[in-house]
Structure 1
Amino acid sequence: MQALGEIDGWDVPFATAGVTRAAGTIATRGDSTRPLELASVSKPVAALATLVAAEEGVVDLDEPAGPPGATVRHLLSHASGLPFEGARPIAPPGRRRIYSNEGFLVLGSHLETCAEMSFAQYVREAVCTPLGIGLDPEGHPGAGMHASLEDVLALGRELLAPALVATETHAEMVAVQFPGLDGVLPQFGRFSPLDWGLGVELKGAKEPHWSGSLTSPATFGHFGGSGTFLWADPTRDLACAALTTRRFGDWAKEAWARLSDAVVREADAQSET
């Protein structure tokens, strides 16, 4: 896929990117085996582990977790009222969409208690081993994982065609949780509403969006402050990921959107031939 050549012009020390469909990887560029910090791309991984736990009866999405009145579902969808960092809530649960790393730290501790094993070990058994990936889940549950591009593309395939969880569970993952909540998408500004699923951001009608202008409104995924992203567009059976060693900033907003639009154009053109 020629579109991946976009990363050659990025002002970053290292970059790798790839595109996959549910059936397998289409193309990669750069070293796809080098493990890198995922930052917040860890959150969909944590969410998948939690959804496996829900199906296994280890947790219930609507059981209490976090601040008074909050549940596992609130934590997964940034609706618990917890701030980005810090244990003191800044809003009642279900009132605002407040992007919260703290919420995933609480989620990880809750899952550890319920599963009677470390969060990282649960992720290994629930996600890594079944998918056959070398992702390292140690560290902050929502921001501390490390993985290679190959690992992240395997996650993209899981998001397109779930094997770890039932179709109904996956549908809930990508459905708007607590509809109508306003909030701020980090580095992109306030959206009304700021729609979120269970551990994944939903593109919807957001404009501008880090996945570009051509991905469908059904697109979902996550980006990370370490210069990483993963989006899945189910209407096209297409997922794209990029990992870099440059922190997220204005450079990424433009570069990611341009890469994503180029990928979509090329994939659409190939589908028409």
Structure 2
Amino acid sequence: MQSLRMIEEWPVGAAAVAVVRGADGALLGAHGPQHHRFQLASVTKPLTAYAALVAVEEGVFELDDPAGPEGSTVRHLLAHTSGLAFDENRTMAAPGTRRLYSNAGFDVLAETLAKAAGIPFERYAAEAVFQPLGMADTAIEAAHRTPAGAGGVSTAADLARFVAELQAPRLLDPSTVAAATREVAFPGLSGVLPGYGHQKPNDWGLGFEIRDGKTPHWTGGANSPGTFGHFGQSGTFLWVDPVAGAACVALADRDFGPWAAEAWPPLSDAVLAELRG
């Protein structure tokens, strides 16, 4: 795909991109070092969420089990509605009343899963998600300040396998993935989309941001409202567009900033235009 060469113009040291078709998980195009390990920052959250959803299906815990502040559940933590602050275990609002994006909430989620499963969360994620999908170069680093929220490392090749799974699930029942990525959890809540300001509403599924009508946004103008995914402050993103029937992964070694806000949407639009042919 010629559109992927756009990353050559990004003001970064290294970047890699991959596009995956939904129907069969085929790799439609790739550019850059596909096996270079990048820090994921918040692109870790979809991986953590997927491990949590596997745990739900395995009976380790349930979405409505108590977790986090009083009145909060596993579901609240996944949907950034537990009321926990961004980067500390401090309650800022009653559960279910505000969309407070929270790294701390994902670490509480991981701690809850680890306690219920009886093994460290990093090991559970590896055994439940990374190993079955062949993501040999992916890990969640326990030493990171917020491991389950932002401590992931991976490659474009590995994340291509993950977005293939999101489009044609093998590890989870398709209805579980659809509920997490296409149904707004606690609809109508406003909140801040990091790097893009206040959004009303600020729609999320369970661990995945849902694009809907948000503006400005890190995806392209051509992305459908049903697009879901995540971006990270380390210069990384992944999205799945069910209307286009494809997904895009992009990783870079420069922290998110104005360069990314300017470069990412045109790449997404060019990819979608090339897919439409």
What is the TM-score when the length of structure 1 is the normalising length?
0.97
- CA drift of 1:11 comes to 0.5
Runs of 4+ off more than 3 Å: none
Identity of aligned residues (%): 50
CA shift digits 1:184-210 (9 cap, x unpaired): 000101111100001000000112211
User: How far apart, in 2, do the equivalents of 1:137 and 1:189 lie?
Assistant: 28
156-165 vs 39-48, greater mean Cα deviation: 156-165
Q: 2:50 aligns with which of 25, 34, 48?
A: 48
Where in structure 2 are the equivalents of 1:53-64 lying within 5 Å?
53-64=55-66
Determine the structure 2 residue equivalent to 1:207. Answer: 215
User: Does 2:197 match 1:194?
Assistant: no
One-letter code aligned to 1:178: F
User: How far apart, in 2, do the equivalents of 1:171 and 1:203 lie?
Assistant: 15
Where in structure 2 are the equivalents of 1:135-154 lying within 5 Å?
135-139=138-142, 140-154=147-161
One-letter code aligned to 2:272: V
Determine the structure 2 residue equivalent to 1:14. Answer: 14
One-letter code aligned to 2:10: W
CA shift digits 1:229-257 (9 cap, x unpaired): 00000111110011100000011011010
User: Residues 207 and 213 of structure 1 are in contact (CA less than 8 Å); yes or no, is this contact kept in structure 2?
Assistant: no
User: Does 2:224 match 1:222?
Assistant: no
Partner secondary structure for residue 176 of structure 1: coil
User: How far apart, in 2, do the equivalents of 1:195 and 1:208 lie?
Assistant: 14
201-210 vs 62-71, greater mean Cα deviation: 201-210
- CA drift of 1:172 comes to 1.2
Determine the structure 1 residue equivalent to 2:2. Answer: 2
User: How far apart, in 2, do the equivalents of 1:219 and 1:258 lie?
Assistant: 16
- CA drift of 1:138 comes to 2.4
Determine the structure 2 residue equivalent to 1:155. Answer: 162
Partner secondary structure for residue 43 of structure 2: helix
Determine the structure 2 residue equivalent to 1:82. Answer: 84
Over the residues paired in the alignment, what is the CA RMSD in angstroms? Answer: 0.8
Q: How many residues end up aligned between the 2 structures?
A: 269
- CA drift of 1:263 comes to 0.3
User: Residues 40 and 143 of structure 1 are in contact (CA less than 8 Å); yes or no, is this contact kept in structure 2?
Assistant: yes
One-letter code aligned to 1:203: R
CA shift digits 1:141-195 (9 cap, x unpaired): 1100100100111111111111111011111111100011000000101111100
One-letter code aligned to 2:36: R
Partner secondary structure for residue 130 of structure 1: coil
Where in structure 2 are the equivalents of 1:159-198 lying within 5 Å?
159-174=166-181, 175-198=183-206
User: Residues 223 and 230 of structure 1 are in contact (CA less than 8 Å); yes or no, is this contact kept in structure 2?
Assistant: yes
User: How far apart, in 2, do the equivalents of 1:3 and 1:160 lie?
Assistant: 22
Unmatched 5+ stretches in structure 2:
none
- CA drift of 1:129 comes to 1.3
One-letter code aligned to 1:3: S
CA shift digits 1:6-42 (9 cap, x unpaired): 1010011111111111321111101000111011000
User: Residues 112 and 119 of structure 1 are in contact (CA less than 8 Å); yes or no, is this contact kept in structure 2?
Assistant: yes
User: Does 2:262 match 1:235?
Assistant: no
Q: 2:127 aligns with which of 125, 128, 131?
A: 125
Partner secondary structure for residue 19 of structure 1: strand
CA shift digits 1:99-148 (9 cap, x unpaired): 00000010110000000000011001110111011211223011001001
User: Residues 15 and 245 of structure 1 are in contact (CA less than 8 Å); yes or no, is this contact kept in structure 2?
Assistant: yes
Unmatched 5+ stretches in structure 1:
none
